[in-house]
Structure 1
Amino acid sequence: MIGRLELDDLRSSLSRNETLLSVLERTASLRLPGWYLTAGCLFQTVWNVVTDRPPTAGIKDYDVFYFDDSDLSWEAEDRVIKAAEQAFAGLAADVEIRNEARVHLWYEQKFGVACPPYDSTEAAIDSFAATTCCLGVRLEPSGEWRVYAPHGLTDVFNLVLRPNPVLAPRSVYETKAARWREQWPELTVLPWPID
Structure 2
Amino acid sequence: MTKKLILATVLMLSITMVSCTTTPNNNTSSTTTTVEENKDSDSSSKTANDKPKEEAKVNKIKLSIYTIDDNSLEPNESSTIEVNENLSLEDKLKELSKTVSEKKFDKLTIDVKSIDTVDGKKVATINLADSGANKWTQKFQGSTGGAVTSNTLIENFLQTNNKSKGEWIDGVKFLYNNKAIEYEHVSDLSTIQYRN
Question: What TM-score does the superposition give when structure 1 sets the normalisation length?
Answer: 0.30
Higher strand share: 2
Higher relative contact order (CA 8 A, sep 6+): 1
Question: What TM-score does the superposition give when structure 2 sets the normalisation length?
Answer: 0.30
Higher helix share: 2
